[in-house]
Each structure stands twice: as C-alpha cells, then as structure tokens.
Homo-oligomer: A and B are copies of this chain.
Amino acid sequence: MAKEQFVEQIADIEKDFPQWYTDVVLKTKLVDYGPVKGTMVIRPYGYAVWELIQKNLDEMFKAEGVENAYFPLLIPMSFLTKEAEHVEGFAPEVAVVTHAGGEQLAEPLVVRPTSETVIGHMYSKWVQSYRDLPLLINQWCNVMRWEKTTRPFLRTSEFLWQEGHTVHASAQEAEEETQKMLGVYKTFAENCLAIPVVTGKKTEKEKFAGAIATYGMEAMMKDGKSLQAGTSHYLGQNFSKAFDIQFLDKDSTQKYAYTTSWGVSTRLIGAIIMTHGDQRGLVFPPKVAPIQTIIVPIAAKKGGVNEACAELEAKLKNVGIRVKTDYTDNSPGWKFNEWEMKGVPVRVEIGPRDLEQGKMMLFRRDTLEKISVSLENAVEEITALLATIQKDMLAAALQRREERIVYANSVEELLKGVETGNFVKAGWCEDRACEEQIKAQTAATSRVYAEGETAETCVCCGKKAKHMVIFARAY
C-alpha cells in the first residue's frame, strides 16, 4: 500500500460527512458492527475512550456525593405502565424477554431502556424518613432501545451509559440537583472533551417521557447539525407517586418525594469524533485520548535512536502521560498517517540528526504544526503542549460554533439557516402545532430554549413569542 492510502480511504469530509464518519469509526478500529442488526461492538481503541470518559465523570459525580450501584437489567412489563407518559414513550422501542430457563414467563420482562421504574420500585423500600434523603445514586450500565435507523455510537439498539437517579424532600432541592448535574455535564464536555455545549430547557414535545422538565446539552457537529450530548430531568412527583416513594418528614407527615434523573452515553464518543475530526481522521482532545503521545523513531537503525525513544517513553510514562513508541518496520510516512488517522494529539519524531542537535520534532495533530524543541526539556514541553492542545481545541470548536449561530424571523430564514449548517435562534409561541410545522418544513427540531434571551414573535405563526428557541437539524 502506498503511504498516502490511509487518507484516501476516508470519504471527503466536506462532500459526504456521514460517509466520512463511518469510514473514520471503522478504519480507526473504534467500533465494528455486531451480528444483530443495529448493534455495535466497541473495540479496544474505542472502549479506551469510554474508560477515560467514565473515569473523569465518575470522579465528578463522587465529588457531588453521588454513589454507584447496580440495578437489574430486566424490568417487569407492568412497571412501565405505572407512569402513563413513560410507557407511551418507551413501550414501542423495548426488547422483551418472554422465555427463560426453558419456560414461558408468567409476565414478560423488558430489557431496560432506562431505569426510573425499577429504581423507583427499590427507592420506595429504601426511603422511609427525611433522614434517608437526599438519596444520590448513579449506575454505569448497558441499556436497549430498539431503533429502526442506527449508526455506531450515535444511535444503536444497545448502548452504554450512566444514569443518575436522585430523591429529595422538596421540589426546590430536586430542581437544583437537576441543574447541578446539567452543570457537571457542561463542565465535563468543555473541560475534558473540548466540546462547547449549549444547555437549556427542552420543549414539551422533546422532553423525556415522564418528566416535568428536561434540560439538554446540545453540541454542534462539524456539519452544523446538533447532537444531544446529555440530558437532566426534573421528574417532580411523577415517579414517586407511580412507585410510592414516600417519606416521613420532619413535621411527622408522610410526603411523596421529588426525583431527578440524568444521563450521558457512549454517544459522547460520536460527539468527540464529529466535533474535532478532520480529513486525516480522528483528533482526540488529550484528556480522553487513549494514546496522548506517539513516538516515531526516524532512521532507527542508526545508533542511539531507539534508545533515545525508549528513554523518552519511560520519562513520559513516569509523569502519567499515555505514551507509545512505534517500533514497527513501517516507513515513517506510514506511521505518521496511521497515528494521525488515529487522532493521537502529539507525535514526537526523533532521528539521528535530531539527536546530534539534542532536539526532537513535535507534531500537533489539532493544528498540524511542527515544532522543533530541546530533547532535554522533553517532559515539560510535551506536558505543556498537551495542555495547550486541550485548551486550543475547545477554543477552536467554540469559535466555529459561534460563527454558526444565526437568527431567523421567518420559517424560510430558519430553513436557510439550518440548510447552511447553523443553529438558528427564533421566537416561538409555545404552540406544538408551530413546532411541528417548523419541523415539517425545515427538518429542524427545537433543541433548547436560548437561556437569557427573549423574542417578540413566533417565527411560524407570528403571534406573541413565549421563548427564544434554538432550532437545528439533529442526530
């Protein structure tokens, strides 16, 4: 194979973004298709990203006093029907176990699409007194939603996620928790994934089935479409009434508790790819890069090159940098292409001439810049460069997004806006008919309310607007 072949194998990111995405996720071995339609296999390189997401986010959850637990995969079908909106939303897409242990089951069991019901059932046993509150539990697990159209990471019948479920004594405290966890997600997306997000309330149409209010975090992908990257739901007393989560309050009366739930999933890996990727392939922000630095020996047969690489690798490992040296017998050009495609943030090149001068070459994957620096300060230089890349990637993504937020005063303008890859802000009267008409005419949906902004008139009917809404085509 010619050394440029890696690049040629990836579809043009400008002309065919969906194919570019598919090429990148498969060719970098992040993921593969499972044998059952709509399923994915997360391969080691992709799973390593998920492990880093888990590690970072889990620390943030624990700092907020959240503990992890594990609830059963299979939920009695009757549980779903206890909350009217919930069953309506999820029943059409559940997978159902009807037989087990060689017998037909008395009651069919659904593979969890989300766990409010089974967790609500357990909480009704565990919560007795105000002293048991707040109850803050999260679980990392697999969930299943039978989807017609699927794409790796973005929409698959089974995916991995975390779901937090909290119980509180008052509506206010539960609402605050909903906002707090949305804030945790936003901080995580920006600081760890270098993905700028817009957060805000969702419309009734777009909210979680069974919630009083859903708050979403939306990220703009490179094609201008929006990806819902996380949600936080204020559930009020809907689930506590359906599952009888009552507590004896300080005033000696029995009260229904207030609950929340919030989740992010392996979808975030798709968000990373479509926020930062380019024609050469993946571009990982250092904090979630499985390999942060790849060392490529140049003309390694000459004296001292491999030794210098090994020494550097040991030093970088020692300070906690995820580093690897490519000792294979591929050509340097081949290695450059391969590790660029795999999105490694920093490449170090060390050859005999560099060694003579006490230098090494650093290549930044995000900006494609090369910098020659002193080998002596290698650890400091690379540590600093990784931090710079992390910061610059967020700034670059933020700038791209800010340039692509426009306002619309008519559905035609809104259509033009989303067709040219923008988030479009427009007034809305709060009438679902207008929301549906906008979707029918533009293929754009309401993403979230634009926080702190108001609008005069509804972009669709011209009546008085109640909200400024961000519309976009979405994944």
Contacts and interface: CB of A to CB of B under 8 A. Distances in A.
Interface of A: 32, 34-36, 39-44, 46-48, 50-51, 67-76, 79, 91-102, 108-109, 111, 118, 121-122, 125-126, 137, 141-142, 144, 146-148, 157-158, 160
Contacts of A92: 101-102
Given A67-B48, A97-B97, A72 B111 contact: no
25 contacts: A32-B125, A34-B122, A36-B74, A36-B75, A40-B72, A41-B122, A42-B70, A44-B68, A47-B67, A47-B69, A50-B70, A51-B68, A70-B160, A73-B73, A73-B111, A92-B101, A94-B100, A94-B101, A95-B109, A96-B97, A96-B98, A97-B98, A99-B108, A101-B146, A102-B146
Contact of A69 (B35, B42, B74): B42
A137 B45 CA distance: 11
B96 A99 contact: yes
A34 B122 CA distance: 8
B96 A36 contact: no
Given A51-B68, A97-B111, A99-B96, A35 B79 contact: yes
B97 A69 contact: no
A101 B93 contact: yes
- Looking at A34, A40, A137, A148, the one whose CB has the most chain B CB atoms below 10 A away is A34
Number of copies: 2
Given A36-B74, A39-B72, 8 more contacts: A36-B109, A39-B74, A47-B70, A93-B102, A94-B100, A97-B111, A100-B146, A101-B148
Given A35-B118, A97-B96, A144 B67 contact: no
Nearest to A119: B41
B109 A72 contact: no
Contacts of A146: 100-102
A109 to B, nearest CB: 6
B102 A41 contact: no
Given A36-B109, A141-B142, A67 B96 contact: no
Given A35-B72, A41-B69, A142-B73, A99 B98 contact: yes
- Looking at A43, A70, A96, the one whose CB has the most chain B CB atoms below 10 A away is A70
Contacts of A79: 35
B102 A95 contact: no
Contacts of A42: 69-70
Contacts of A47: 67-70
A371 B44 CA distance: 49
A140 to B, nearest CB: 9
B118 A76 contact: no
A148 B39 CA distance: 30
A320 to B, nearest CB: 14
A317 to B, nearest CB: 13
Given A32-B122, A34-B118, A36-B109, A137 B44 contact: yes
B76 A36 contact: yes
B109 A99 contact: no
Contacts of A93: 101-102
Contact of A158 (B67, B74, B147, B157): B74
Closest 8 CB pairs of A and B: A101-B146, A44-B67, A95-B100, A42-B70, A34-B72, A39-B72, A96-B99, A100-B146
Contacts of A147: 101
A427 to B, nearest CB: 37
B137 A71 contact: no
A24 to B, nearest CB: 18
A116 B229 CA distance: 33
Contacts of A95: 74, 97, 99-101, 109
Nearest to A117: B35
A46 to B, nearest CB: 8
A66 to B, nearest CB: 9
Contacts of A142: 73, 141-142
A44 B101 CA distance: 30
Nearest to A103: B146
A288 to B, nearest CB: 15
A157 B101 CA distance: 10
Contacts of A74: 36, 39, 95, 144, 158
A91 B100 CA distance: 10
